[in-house]
Amino acid sequence: MTILVTGANRGIGLELVRQYAEMGETVIATTRNRIPAELDHLAEWHILDVTDQASFDGLNSALDGRAVSVVICNAGIYLDKPESLAQGFKPELWQQTFAVNVTGAFLTVQNLLPNLQAAGNARIAIIASKMGLSAHAKGGSYIYRASKAAAINLAANLAHDLKPLDIAVGAYHPGWVRTDMGGKMADVDIATSAGGLIERIRELGPETTGGFLAYDGEKLD
């Protein structure tokens, strides 16, 4: 089985790559700026900026129609954590965040659709966050929360449209994970989060397409 992970040079993305590689799967990993030489043995690495169609054109050319069974849209940014309501949340932060967290996920699916169809019974995982749910609206981080709400909605609509093509789509909350983004005070270690996500993606199929689950299997809505 071939798995493609975006935003794979650090954090949850890199741990997903490591664990899939240890399972003996073929892993294609993308990173925006550089291919880390010390991680070269784990995967087939490609440069990809998920906000740039020309970058996708390069990836499409490199893959040359190869079948990809699982696409994990993991690339994401969280730029507005320190922003204040009175003076922060500038328009450019909204544009940058949505370009990566929402448009980037859509473009990933759109560009890799032929590869997914070539695999048959393929799966798409969009890494979202329960911070995007109204039930978890605790104020602040307006841009990140809104982008993850949009990502959850995107996954649900893609699931509807791709089900006739035998492609299942799920949105996933990785937990509050101890990464550069999550910080040292987070309550989930990265190996546990990635392992749980892999299990949830393994379970994804026609019967469960369109759902939103936490890494530990909790159903979120």
Please write the tens of the pLDDT for every residue from 33-54. 887 788 889 999 999 999 999 9
The model's pLDDT over 130-156, given as tens digits with 9 standing for 90+, comes to 999 998 899 999 999 999 999 999 999
82 is a domain residue: yes
* pLDDT tens by residue, 97-131: 999 999 999 999 999 999 999 999 999 999 999 99
CATH number (domain holding residue 45): 3.40.50.720
Neighbours of 182 (CB within 10 A): 19
Banded pLDDT at 187 (limits 50, 70, 90): confident
Confidence at residue 83, expressed as pLDDT on a 0 to 100 scale = 87
In degrees, to the nearest 5, what angle opens at C-alpha 143 toward C-alphas 138 and 148? 80
* DSSP tag of 194: H
**Single-letter amino acid code for the residue at 9:** N
CA atoms within 13 A on the CB side of 49: 9
In a domain, 221, yes or no: no
CB neighbours of residue 120 within 10 Å? 11
CA distance 130 to 46: 30
| 78-92: burial string, b at 16+ Cβ within 10 Å, e else | bbbeebeeeeebeee
Residue 158 belongs to a domain: yes
Beta sheet of 70-73, edge-to-edge order: 44-47, 26-31, 2-5, 70-73, 122-127, 167-173, 212-214
Number of domains composing the chain: 1
pLDDT at 42: 93
Predicted confidence (pLDDT) per residue in 55-81, tens digit: 999 999 999 999 999 999 999 999 999
d(CA 73, CA 56): 14
Q: What is the DSSP string of 12-26?
A: HHHHHHHHHHHTT-E
Q: Is residue 147 part of a domain?
A: yes
Query: 87 in a domain, yes or no?
Result: yes
Q: What distance, in Å, lies between the first and last C-alpha atoms of the chain? A: 30
For the beta carbon of residue 164, count every other beta carbon within 10 angstroms.
7
Domain span at 167: 2-214
The model's confidence at residue 197, banded by pLDDT at 50, 70 and 90, is: very high
- C-alpha pair distances (Å), 70 with each of 3, 125, 201: 5, 8, 8
Task: Report if residue 220 sits inside a domain.
Answer: no
Alpha carbons 181 and 74: distance in angstroms, whole number: 13
| Residue 13 located in a structural domain | yes
Q: Answer whether residue 177 is part of any domain.
A: yes
pLDDT at 33: 85
Residue 215 confidence class, pLDDT cut points 50, 70, 90: very high
Q: What is the pTM of this model?
A: 0.96
